[in-house]
Structure 1
Amino acid sequence: MRREITVTGMSCGHCEQSVVEALEALDGIESASADRTTDSATVEGTADSAALLDAVESAGYEATL
């Protein structure tokens, strides 16, 4: 399943990488990408929505589906 997440607070490549690493650490995630220019992240996998948001927020960014 492919899902888009709105992520605010990313300002550099390191920020994007932090979001990707947090998402890819979740069980059921096959791949993740983040783009600071569009304030978004895209995930492929089966992790539930709450886990996705918690992962991004634990990395220090705000997230909404």
Structure 2
Amino acid sequence: MNQQYYDAVVAMEQAGADSEFVQGWQNGYLHNPMREEQRLNEAFEAGYEAGKSRDLEAYKEWVN
């Protein structure tokens, strides 16, 4: 298990980050393909880019 991934997801969830951002971050971090266009939104795309770059702080802008 990747401890950095686990710790980051727990921190995002405990902080109350937007769930779409968290899902995007997880997909980007794991290098999964982007969602299909009709299911994209701003939070998911921001999370995807942050996950791809392994940004562990970007979620703070998406806390509800």
> Normalising by the residue count of structure 1, what TM-score does the alignment of the two structures yield?
0.33
**Which protein is richer in strand relative to its size?**
1
> Normalising by the residue count of structure 2, what TM-score does the alignment of the two structures yield?
0.34
For the pair shown, the structure with the greater C-alpha radius of gyration is 2
